[in-house]
Every structure is written in C-alpha cells, then in structure tokens.
A and B are shown apart, each in its own frame.
Chain A
C-alpha cells in the first residue's frame, strides 16, 4: 500500500510540474538573465552588459512618454471604474423604494446585472475591433449619436486626433470594466445586513452619506482588491491600445506594454525588451505593495 501511495503521488504531480516548469517557471527566470544582455535575437551570440539596459531605459524618452500615459491610466481607470461600480451596485442593491418591505434593490436588478456584465465575457480583441468602428469618423456610432441629437459640431475623428486618441481608449477600458465591478460589489453588499440601511434611513441619512459612511467602509476589502486589479491593468494596457490605436497617431497613445512588445517582436531587441519587462514588474510591485499597506484599515466585524 505504501508503495502504491508513492507511485500515485509521483504520477499525479510530475506531469503538471513538468509542464509548469518548462513553460512558466523557466521563462520567468530567463527573463532576468536576458535582461542583462544585449541579445538581438537574430544571432545566438550576445554580450552580458550588466545593468546597461536599465541605464538606457532611464534615458529613453519614448519609454517615459509611454509611462506617462500609464500613469494617467493608473489614476483615472481605478477611480472612474470603482466609482461607477459602487454607484450602480448600491443603486441595484439598496436603491429601491423604501416601502413597507423596508430597504431593497430596484426592480429588475438581476436583469441590469446581466446586461452590465456583457463586456466581461467578450474578448479584448472583439471589444477593440468593435470600438475602432464605434469611433470611425463617418460610419461610427459615436459621431452618429452626436449628429442625431444635434451636436454634430462635436463630432471628431476620435482616433485620428493626437489629443483625443488616448482618452478615447481610456473610455473603452472603463466601459468594459465597470460591469464586472458592479457584480463584484453587489455580491459583497449582499453580506451587509439590511437593518443597518434601515436604521440609517430612519435617522434621515441621505444616499450620499449612506454610501460614504456605511457601504464604502464595509466593502473596503473588496474595493482594495478591485484597485489592485485595475492598477495592474492600467500598468500594462497592451492589448486594447494595440488593437484600437496601435499607440498612434504618432506616439500619442503609446503605453509601456506596447513599447515592450514592439521592442521585442518588432525590433528584435530582446535584451532591452526583457529589461523593460523586469522594470515593469518591479514598478508594479512598488506601487501595489505600499498601496495595500497605506490603505489597510481594521476590518469591521459584523
């Protein structure tokens, strides 16, 4: 029996571990090694250049241009997405008319949640392609809507204008993320006892005060998780920007993920691109970890 147990553990553990080691662990480790070389990819030989790639990174103006856009994303994307998500979730969960049944959600809340969640099941490719067409100057729905309500003067070639292209994609990122956080926050709000809201309503608390004083403190853990995920999305942004604008016009909507991808697979500067990946990783860690420490609050026991 003991022999059978060992054989069992080995046959169940070795194949998954092997797969994982070859395709996940080894590439991660190699990245750090490649980042210290000037490898160009076309020939097998390269020199170890130490921290030279990182020095070059600090003086690379295109990298700073891209990082600037990521910094805007890092501020705007979580605030807008979490704000809208909390707003809709609290409307759906406790926004209903306070009748004899007390505090409850609005009618049709389940249907709203289904619709809001739509973008979450669609691929980033599909969302990107759809919104490229949405923003098209003549045939797009955005300008079509503006013209239909008599605001035709506001119609723009959204993606062709260097001052607007970045913001246009940012709007798509918010659009595609809000529904997920509505559902996430709604689920978390289910665990808040109704009578807290009823007591607040009896005391004459406004909706804004209820959100600020009750909902947000009680959902703090969930909001933190949401922020971490949105921050990670904001610090990459490769797929959606590549599909909708490809960083253009010019470099006006370039982001660091796109920079890394084109440095590697466009220009074959694999050493430099790996250094960007490593730098991004530590940048992400150095933003997320202090944030989690700074915003730690005592968990409120119910």
Chain B
C-alpha cells in the first residue's frame, strides 16, 4: 500500500516536470496560430483558426526565412571545415609519431580550457582586418576554429582505438597515406564522426555570442543568422505589437530542431553527454 502511494507520488512529480518543460514549447506553437487579440487576452486558450498567414508574415516580412537560410549556409560550411580539419589533425596526431606531435596535441586540446569571452575583443579585430566581418564564410570559419579543440580531442581518442593492423596491411599493399585515410580510416571512424558531428551541429546552430559580435557593420543584417534574427524580432515586435508573428518566428526556429532531436534522440543525448564529460 505504502509502495503504491509513493509510486503515484513519483509519477505526479515526474509528470509535473515534463509539463513544465514541454508546455512552454506547446504554448509557443499554439500561439503562432492565434491572432494578437487572442494572444493578449487569453494565454491559455486554443487558436480559433489555423492562421498560417502568421507564419508567412514571420518568414517574409520579419525575414526569418532569410535568417533560416543564412543559418543553414553557415552551419553547412562550418561543419564541413570542422569535421575535415578536425579529422585530419586528429588522425595524424593519433597514428603518426613525429617530433613535436605531443606539443601540437596539447596546443589543440588546451583550447578547451579557455572561455570564448576571453578572446572576443581581439577576435573582432582579427576578423575585421581579414575583411571577414559580417560575412557568412567568416562566421563559418570562426565556428570551425573554436570547435577544433574538442573535435581533435574526441577524434584523436577515437582513431587510437582503431586496429593498427589494417593500416599496416594497406600500406604494404601500396595504398598511399592519403588513400589510407580517406578510403579506410574515415569509414572505420564513422561512429565517432557521427557523435562529434551532432555535437558540433548543435553547438554551431545554437551559437549566439559569436554572431552578435561578428555580424556587425554595414548591411550585415541581411546576413544575420537565426538566433540573432530571432532576438531582434523579439525586441522589435515588442514595440510593433505583432505578437502572432513573433510566435510564428519562434515556432519556425523551434520545430526543425525539435523534430530532428526526437528522431535522433538517442544519438543526440549520447553525443551531448559525451561532449560534456570531456
């Protein structure tokens, strides 16, 4: 009897937290279909109609569509650079011994110790002096550079676990070092690449500090990324009063990530927790 009461109690607590976590998101999604009148007077009510025009207004008029595309472009490029450079450096550091290899390894891995805010001011000027301020490729390159420490750390450990015999056999068969890497080692390292790739994707997609520092200057607002555009929208809509457009913008930003997470939740959870336990 006592066990049953305890059990009901634990479910009640667990369900309460689930509601606390999920309901704000559901509320944003339902509010994106309401009109401003409904939003302002009845936060709990359901929308009286599915007003897709809110979404269209957010996508076009508030430029959320543009920011979405910018984010996709930036993250696509930054992920390619991060994974390629990270895998290259990690592979060499894991499988080849040469003078200075340990120093290079610690140089990369040591970067995990330093917070980004320590570098912000000079980084702004480095990027500006290279003419990359306010450009999408510039942002991608910076994302990639700041992802290298963890990526190299994670993939070096991963490449070390792969059997050495395969590599030796391939080299004896006359495969070049390059061929060995691209045709044998990368496919074998796939599970590690997927984990660190998911980690980096979320890290890049959700960046906020780097874009607001680096996407400044003339005309940069056309090249803003989603997280930046969203906060600007929130501040502007607060004055302009287009609440339904704001919720539609939030929903457009929310749904793809949430859907991707629900589909790949096991990989995402293990990828992110592995990332934190470094």
Contact = CB atoms under 8 A, between A and B. Distances in A.
Q: Which of B93, B230, B250, B273 has the most CB of A within 10 A?
A: B273
A117 B271 CA distance: 13
Interface string A234-268: 00101100010000000000000100110011000
Consensus secondary structure, chain B interface: helix
A277 B118 contact: yes
Contacts, number: 253
Given A106-B14, A257-B117, A277-B117, A184 B104 contact: no
Given A5-B177, A27-B123, A225-B277, A16 B205 contact: no
Given A124-B208, A184-B273, A31 B121 contact: yes
Contacts of B49: none
Contacts of B98: 9
B119 interface: yes
A121 B88 contact: no
Given A19-B148, A91-B14, A113-B269, A27 B122 contact: yes
B196 to A, nearest CB: 14
B276 A12 contact: no
Contacts of B58: none
Interface stretch (B106-114, B162-170, B187-195): B106-114
A115 B25 CA distance: 11
Interface string B158-185: 0000000000000000001110010000
B91 A118 contact: no
B103 to A, nearest CB: 11
A30 to B, nearest CB: 4
Contacts of A265: 124, 213, 216
A54 interface: no
A118 B258 contact: yes
Contacts of B226: 123, 125
30 contacts: A8-B176, A9-B96, A15-B88, A16-B86, A20-B111, A23-B145, A24-B146, A27-B121, A117-B261, A117-B268, A118-B22, A121-B202, A122-B254, A122-B257, A123-B230, A123-B253, A124-B206, A125-B206, A126-B250, A129-B231, A129-B250, A132-B238, A138-B41, A141-B23, A144-B43, A144-B44, A175-B20, A229-B276, A243-B231, A274-B122
Q: Considering the complex of A and B, which 9 residue pairs feature the smallest CB-CB distances, nearest first?
A: A144-B43, A125-B227, A123-B206, A30-B122, A23-B145, A27-B119, A8-B177, A27-B122, A16-B85
